[in-house]
Amino acid sequence: MKKIKSGIYGLNPLLDGGVNPNSTTVIIGPAGAGKTTFATQFLRKGLEEQKPGVYISLDENKEQIIKEAEEMGWANIKHYLEKKLLLFIDASGKKFAQFIREDLPDFIQKWEGADARIVIDPLTPVMWAIKDKYEQRELLSYLFKETRRIGTVVCTLEEHGSEPNLTGQEVVIPMYLADCVIHLRYQILDDEEKRALKIIKCRSSRHSKFYHNYKIIRGLGLMLQKFPLEIKGTKKIPDKLKKDIKKNSKLRPHQYQDFVKNLDLLIDDDFNGLAYDEISNNIINEIDE
Amino acid sequence: MKKIKSGIYGLNPLLDGGVNPNSTTVIIGPAGAGKTTFATQFLRKGLEEQKPGVYISLDENKEQIIKEAEEMGWANIKHYLEKKLLLFIDASGKKFAQFIREDLPDFIQKWEGADARIVIDPLTPVMWAIKDKYEQRELLSYLFKETRRIGTVVCTLEEHGSEPNLTGQEVVIPMYLADCVIHLRYQILDDEEKRALKIIKCRSSRHSKFYHNYKIIRGLGLMLQKFPLEIKGTKKIPDKLKKDIKKNSKLRPHQYQDFVKNLDLLIDDDFNGLAYDEISNNIINEIDE
Amino acid sequence: MKKIKSGIYGLNPLLDGGVNPNSTTVIIGPAGAGKTTFATQFLRKGLEEQKPGVYISLDENKEQIIKEAEEMGWANIKHYLEKKLLLFIDASGKKFAQFIREDLPDFIQKWEGADARIVIDPLTPVMWAIKDKYEQRELLSYLFKETRRIGTVVCTLEEHGSEPNLTGQEVVIPMYLADCVIHLRYQILDDEEKRALKIIKCRSSRHSKFYHNYKIIRGLGLMLQKFPLEIKGTKKIPDKLKKDIKKNSKLRPHQYQDFVKNLDLLIDDDFNGLAYDEISNNIINEIDE
Amino acid sequence: MKKIKSGIYGLNPLLDGGVNPNSTTVIIGPAGAGKTTFATQFLRKGLEEQKPGVYISLDENKEQIIKEAEEMGWANIKHYLEKKLLLFIDASGKKFAQFIREDLPDFIQKWEGADARIVIDPLTPVMWAIKDKYEQRELLSYLFKETRRIGTVVCTLEEHGSEPNLTGQEVVIPMYLADCVIHLRYQILDDEEKRALKIIKCRSSRHSKFYHNYKIIRGLGLMLQKFPLEIKGTKKIPDKLKKDIKKNSKLRPHQYQDFVKNLDLLIDDDFNGLAYDEISNNIINEIDE
Amino acid sequence: MKKIKSGIYGLNPLLDGGVNPNSTTVIIGPAGAGKTTFATQFLRKGLEEQKPGVYISLDENKEQIIKEAEEMGWANIKHYLEKKLLLFIDASGKKFAQFIREDLPDFIQKWEGADARIVIDPLTPVMWAIKDKYEQRELLSYLFKETRRIGTVVCTLEEHGSEPNLTGQEVVIPMYLADCVIHLRYQILDDEEKRALKIIKCRSSRHSKFYHNYKIIRGLGLMLQKFPLEIKGTKKIPDKLKKDIKKNSKLRPHQYQDFVKNLDLLIDDDFNGLAYDEISNNIINEIDE
Amino acid sequence: MKKIKSGIYGLNPLLDGGVNPNSTTVIIGPAGAGKTTFATQFLRKGLEEQKPGVYISLDENKEQIIKEAEEMGWANIKHYLEKKLLLFIDASGKKFAQFIREDLPDFIQKWEGADARIVIDPLTPVMWAIKDKYEQRELLSYLFKETRRIGTVVCTLEEHGSEPNLTGQEVVIPMYLADCVIHLRYQILDDEEKRALKIIKCRSSRHSKFYHNYKIIRGLGLMLQKFPLEIKGTKKIPDKLKKDIKKNSKLRPHQYQDFVKNLDLLIDDDFNGLAYDEISNNIINEIDE
């Protein structure tokens, strides 16, 4: 799968190269964590690669967002807006919820094949415009399914509470439905402030499992602090397993062929923490009837 | 009772051989714990044993589930779908609730005797579609009773909150009604992530009482980390008890015969923690009038 | 008062011989604690003593309960069902609530004098079928008063929450209204599971005040782990008190006679923790005007 | 003020001789603490002193209460019932709330001057029968004002929760409105149970400020464990203050006379913890203009 | 501003001489803290200074309050009532809320210029009579504004919960609207009880910032335990600042004259904790343009 | 951007010179923290610089606010009121909410270009007048957008709870929508009180990230205690980065020119905590395609 560069300095290696195309990524964080900055960096990168962008703003006015994008180094954002390569949509949560219910099919049809980058910033008022959690889930599920078809989506979500808190209904539902969830942790201490980013989940990707410190730098935007270690690509375990299974299991040749395809995709690192004989025993026990 | 292999690497020995046929198993865990992967491994194993499968999806689209199944090593899932050995049903929580109320008898009649493996993934939107906990219980109780008649069922349940939490209404009701409950604990720490599985309850089965670490391995799926110790099958205590009761209790011969049948089924391990004379005293005190 | 044997191995000595006839006992515990097993052991004991049994099931289907009873050693349960010595009633919480309101007088009349053992398992759906706590109390109070007239009742109650928790409305109301309350504590730890039973209250009985470990043993059922110490029956304190009061208080002879009747019922153990002169002072101070 | 003996062994000295006549006492405690036993001891003492008694029961049936009173040593309770010296009223919470609203004036008129002892056991269902806390307060305030006119009242209140908890709405409102509040603390520990009584407030009384252990003894009822120390009645501080004020303050003679009347009522113990010069300074500062 | 003596022994020095005239003071504390005693001491002091008093009671009956006032040493309270110098108003919370809405203007007009002391005891039922916090705030704001015009007001508020707790809606709104807030902390420990008073806020007053222990003494009422230290009145810092500003800032002469008027009102103690150069720098930086 | 002086002694250096013009600042703090004092200092500073002021009061009466302003050293506030340079608006929360919905466009039109300082004190009743959080957000968003057009706005918000707490709905929504958020922390300890101020966020500004102690001084108002260190303006890192990128990246000349503009705006301090090679690696990795 071809990956998409996120536009965030230092993030792509943590995502095994970038974001998956036609996926939905949810960015969660408190006020001041840099969610809007993340979103504009993401759109900018796409535009620099000649992909159209859609910014759906549910809270801020266009002027403030443009001003902050410029402060973060995107000097020519207005150029993209004028050329209509970047579409800016301003709506209230209720209007956007209504738009999803009534006009999304038209919108999707129009953008079919455009391979756009789409930002919804923040998603929170859409959640608030609907009271019932069942309805929230259904609407969001529909929105995610449809927008994934025409491009790659980043949504921001406000995190409430003084402690990092990923358990509110407004946060949990999008987390379950999204393909990729990134937490921007932002802690205001008495004599320091700490920012760290973690990929909570990312479907169909190897990804980092740790919190990574980041800074927000004027003129640049979010920048991650420490380069992650390369993932080691050796294949000793899969190779040894293949021999073991051939020798010890009762699979017929075509069954064996079918099964070892899986092992071909694996590297040693995928098994970390599992002892070799555990793996071997488990597999042979399970595949033999 | 003939057991059914779960399809999860290393799980069957923890369940005294596997899942009970015609039972309902509930899998509980947070986002990213591997619930859908568990469900597809379970269905795949059945299909490989020539049992039909039904996948009732209440959240995801078919494509995403198939894609993830393939990533977890089920290369020929599309083959089963095309041959209609695997039936895929996509419904919203409300529609499925309505289906249970109105169309379940027909469905059950059609599948009578099919001995299918059935997955409901996730059950959560069904719970959300109903507000009142009494109605939730009644509907779920009806669903479980009926589906058990036509096959073996696995349901997944989302676990909300930042800490492992098995106490929400949406979780507690299914836990009470299910025959087997498995918790997938998934903890995201700053510098590590931990997965562990525990069988909370399993009716009519000896089963492991501990948390067992597991990994999710691309191309394979969930794999348990440590092989449980064999359960020791010696029968010293039951044999000694039989003699003791014969000698010391006032049971009449036919009463004695009736009673010792129970002891024949037991092994020493079943009494663990109980001192011999405690057992003996308790039994003789209770059975003598 | 003649006591009734509970059928639970090792429980009767903790209850000063057993359960009181024509009382209501509530068994509280989480999923997996053994509530249904307790209930079936209780019914079985009655049937073996030629007392009819009534099993009111609000959740499970008859088949599952019978199967589990057999696994716990009650091989001939079907025999009792066929002979109609054991009556099995299957109802939803709402229907049973309606039954209490409308049909309980008829039912009571029919069973008058039968001296049956009656199980309601679980009582929880009845509580859930009623929303208002005042109505819950009124209905339950009525149910308990009436059923006590025709026999001895055991009700089970689900305990929710991850910690032992006897404070929910569904639990507190039955605890206040019942004659006897038994808590089955069941804790699932990482590397161990612990079961312990405690008699929270038991009207008109001396009873154990501690938690007692128990096990659930296939073929037998609940068995308590440690035999309680005999209650010592010496009467030194009451005898000394009688003399003291005769000598030091200003009671007239007939008042003295009336009062010391109470002391005749007491044993030393009843005063545990109270120093002799405290007792003596308190009594003489209070009874003298 | 003439005090009324409570009937509880060892309690009267803690209340400076007993309960105040024409006051309302609220007894709060969890299931098993002995609230009903307290209530019956209180009524019995009155009847033995030729004062009529009224037992308003909102939960239990008459038979159970009588049985328990007999177990606690009140052998001739039925005699009082037959002679109509003890009136037993059985009502639901809703009916009793309605009675307060509609029939209380009649009831009060009938009992005017009877100087009865009145028990309401438990008050909890009355609170539950009313949803709004404002209405609860108003009704309770009316009930307390009126019943105080015809006698001395004891009400019991259930304490919910696993920890001693005097903060629920059902408990706080009666605590504010009552003249005297007594807490029966009852803790069930793993290997012990602890009972202790504390007088939370008692208007117009010197009273103990500590928790006092008590036991419930069959045939006797509640008995307090430790005799409180005599309150010392010396008057050194008041006498010294009188001289000081006479000498150092600018009060005119008749003002001085008025003021020192207050000091005549005091004993040294009333000032405990206050240094002499603090008292003296504060008083002279405040009374001099 | 002329201060008003509170009538509480030892409190006035903590309030820089007493309560401000035409202000609203809120007294918050749990049952038994002495709120009613505080209120009667406050009224009594006014009457002794020939100011009329109004006691608005929302809970208690007049008789009980008078009785307790007498116990606290106010022997001639009935005299004031008879002379109509002390007006006693008895109302329910709802009636008083209605009175505020409809009849307050008349009442205010009648008492215009009377310079009365007014007590509302407790304010809690007024808060309960209104459900919506917005309405509570509006009504209370109106009550406080109007009553301040005709005198000096003391309101009591019940504090609920087992721990000191100033965060409930019923407490927070009055705290925001009142001019002066005094907390009576009352803790019931196992073997001790502790009372302490703290002035939470007092507009336009220097006041103590600590908790001060107090006792309630029969015949006297609330008495504070420790005399606060005199506030030191030296003016070294303000004098030095004046010279500094004259010399180092660019203020024109008339601007300087305007500014130093503020410094004339200050004493050294007002700056406590601030280093001299911090003050000087901050001021010169800010006032120079 | 030209900054606006706040009027608070010692605050401007923490805000890189002051408040941004045409921004909205929210001041959050508990009762007694000095929110109203902050607001009047802010207005006064503007009036002294010949900018008109608008004080929208939702709680207090004009008189009290003027009195407190005078106590804090603003001797000639009445002069500004008389000259109509300072406009005082008194409204309830509901009326002001209605004003926003209906009359805000007129108001904005009238004040267009006035460059006023506007205070809303407190904003809390507006939040309370609206129940639904979605409506709260929409109304507030509209209010903030419009008022920013005609001047610089300061709103105060009450902080409820005994602990500093920035998580209530009434606080979180304004925090998300405001440009600048300042927390006034005020802790009442037993023997001390502590005040500290922190700038939680400030869009488009470098600002202090720490809590700074402050005092409220009669005649002066809020004064910060410690002067923050100068922010160092050296540019070593940006200069070195420019060379590095020129040499090592594959950017074409015009792309390089575009990019380094961002670096020109930066000083070393902006990168604090990031090692040079991290920055360099991240940037080159991201900008090269």
Which pLDDT does position C2 carry in this prediction? 87
Interval E101-120: pLDDT, tens:
999 999 999 999 999 999 99
- Weakest mean pLDDT among E226-230, E243-247, F194-198: E226-230
- Burial classification of residue C50, based on how many CB atoms lie within 10 Å of its CB (0-12 exposed, 13-18 middle, 19 or more buried): exposed
Which pLDDT does position D228 carry in this prediction? 47
Share of chain A above pLDDT 90, in %: 52
Which pLDDT does position B178 carry in this prediction? 94
Residue A110: CB partners within 8 Å, gap ≥ 6? none
Chains that touch B (3 or more CB pairs under 8 A): A, C
Task: Please tell me whether residue A52 adopts helix, strand or coil conformation.
Answer: coil
Nearest to D1 by CA among D152, D117, D126: D152
Distance from CA of A51 to the nearest CA of B (A): 24
Contact F167 A160 (CB under 8 A): yes
Contact B59 A274 (CB under 8 A): no
Q: How many CB atoms lie within 10 A of CB B108?
A: 15
Nearest to F64 by CA among B185, D7, E141: E141
pLDDT at B139 over 70: yes
Which pLDDT does position B194 carry in this prediction? 85
Backbone conformation region of residue B242, classed left if phi is above 0, alpha if psi is from -120 to 50, else beta: alpha
pLDDT at B232 over 60: no
Q: Chains A, F: CB contacts under 8 A, how many?
A: 105
- Weakest mean pLDDT among B221-230, B245-254, F6-15, F24-33: B221-230
The DSSP call for residue B15 is: G
Based on C-alpha coordinates, what's the Rg of chain A?
22
pLDDT at E231 over 60: no
Task: Give the F-side interface with E, CB within 8 Å.
Answer: 5, 7-10, 12-13, 31-32, 49, 59, 61, 64, 67-68, 71, 73, 75-76, 92-94, 125, 128-129, 158, 160-162, 188, 190-193, 213, 215, 217-220, 223-227
Distance from CA of B149 to the nearest CA of C (A): 12
Residue C54 backbone dihedrals phi, psi, to 5 degrees: -125, 125
Distance from CA of E90 to the nearest CA of D (A): 13
CB F35 within 8 A of CB F189: no
pLDDT at A136 over 60: yes
Q: How many CB atoms lie within 10 A of CB D91?
A: 17
What is the distance between the alpha carbons of residues F90 and E36, in angstroms, rounded to a whole number? 35
Chains that touch E (3 or more CB pairs under 8 A): D, F
Q: Which residue has the higher pLDDT, D249 or F141?
A: F141
- Sheet containing C86-90: order of strands: C86-90, C53-57, C116-121, C151-158, C24-29, C180-189, C192-202, C212-217, C221-224
CB C8 within 8 A of CB C43: no
Q: What is the mean pLDDT of residues D45-74?
A: 90
pLDDT at A264 over 90: no
Characterize the bridge pairing of strands C192-202 and C180-189.
antiparallel
The chain B residue lying nearest A202, using CA atoms, is B32
Tokens at D81, concatenated: 């019932």
What angle is formed at CA A79 by the lines to CA A76 and CA A80, rounded to 5 degrees? 100
Share of chain D above pLDDT 70, in %: 93
The chain E residue lying nearest F191, using CA atoms, is E210
Task: Please tell me whether residue C263 adopts helix, strand or coil conformation.
Answer: helix
Which pLDDT does position B56 carry in this prediction? 96
- Give this prediction's pTM: 0.81
pLDDT at A77 over 90: yes
Which pLDDT does position E190 carry in this prediction? 67
Tell whether the torsion through CA atoms of E31, E36, E37 and E39 is positive or negative.
Answer: positive
Name the pLDDT band for B59 (thresholds 50, 70, 90).
confident
Which pLDDT does position D194 carry in this prediction? 85
Can you give the three-state secondary structure of D210-246, one letter per residue? CCEEEEEECCCEEEECCCCCCCCCCCHHHHHHHHHHH
Which pLDDT does position E228 carry in this prediction? 47
Distance from CA of C55 to the nearest CA of B (A): 18
Q: Chains E, F: CB contacts under 8 A, how many?
A: 106
Instruction: Kindly list the residues from chain F whose CB atom is less than 8 angstroms away from the CB atom of residue A10.
Output: 278, 281-282, 285-286
- Alpha carbon separation from D33 to D18, D185, E228 (Å, rounded): 21, 7, 45
Name the pLDDT band for D226 (thresholds 50, 70, 90).
low
Which pLDDT does position A1 carry in this prediction? 65
Distance in Å from the first CA to the final CA of chain C: 35
Instruction: Kindly list the residues from chain D whose CB atom is less than 8 angstroms away from the CB atom of residue C168.
Output: none
- Weakest mean pLDDT among A147-151, B268-272, C216-220, E233-237: B268-272
Which pLDDT does position C251 carry in this prediction? 84
User: Where do runs of H (alpha helix) occur along D115-202?
Assistant: 124-129, 133-150, 169-177
Chains that touch D (3 or more CB pairs under 8 A): C, E
ipTM value for the complex: 0.81
pLDDT at B228 over 50: no
Element (H, E) at B128: helix B124-129
Contact D263 E218 (CB under 8 A): no
Which pLDDT does position C228 carry in this prediction? 47
Contact C94 B278 (CB under 8 A): no
Task: Give the D-side interface with E, CB within 8 Å.
Answer: 133-134, 137-138, 141, 145, 165-167, 172, 175-177, 179, 181, 198, 200-201, 203-204, 206, 209-211, 258, 261-263, 265-266, 270-274, 278-279, 281-283, 285-286, 289
Query: Average model confidence (pLDDT) for chain F?
Result: 87
With a cut of 70, which residues of chain C have pLDDT below it?
1, 60, 161-165, 167, 190-191, 226-233, 272-273, 289
Q: Mutation test of the interface with chain D: which of E160, E214, E222, E226, choosing the one with the most D Cβ atoms within 10 A?
A: E160
Name the pLDDT band for D155 (thresholds 50, 70, 90).
very high
Name the pLDDT band for B273 (thresholds 50, 70, 90).
low
Chains that touch C (3 or more CB pairs under 8 A): B, D
The chain C residue lying nearest B286, using CA atoms, is C9
pLDDT at D16 over 70: yes
Strands (E), E106-209: 116-121, 151-158, 180-189, 192-202
Interval E129-152: pLDDT, tens:
998 999 999 999 999 999 999 999
Task: Please tell me whether residue D181 adopts helix, strand or coil conformation.
Answer: strand
Interval E259-280: pLDDT, tens:
888 788 787 877 766 778 778 8
Which pLDDT does position E241 carry in this prediction? 87
